[in-house]
Amino acid sequence: MDKFISEHLLHKKIDVFIEENQVLTGVVVASADKVLTIQVDGKYIYININQVKYIMER
């Protein structure tokens, strides 16, 4: 999934669905070593890709 995110979603705004009711929205900054990095309100959030249920481009 790292490669897909890096090639198709880099610098795009996405919704990341982690659990049934937990959604994070931000801009993709990086994806490497099974860690997705998004920027939300000027801060970075690091997400374990194994926890991601699905991603939706905004």
The full DSSP string for 1-58 is: -HHHHHHHTTT-EEEEEEETTEEEEEEEEEEETTEEEEEETTEEEEEEGGG--EEEE-
Give me the residue spans of the domains in the chain.
Answer: 2-57
Domain spanning 2-57 has what CATH number? 2.30.30.100
- For 17-20, the CB contacts below 8 A with 24+ separation are 17/52, 17/53, 17/54, 17/55, 17/56, 18/47, 18/51, 18/52, 18/53, 19/53
Q: What is the pLDDT of residues 6-46, one digit of tens each?
A: 999 999 999 999 988 899 999 999 999 999 999 999 999 99
CB 7 within 8 A of CB 50: no
pLDDT score recorded for residue 17: 96
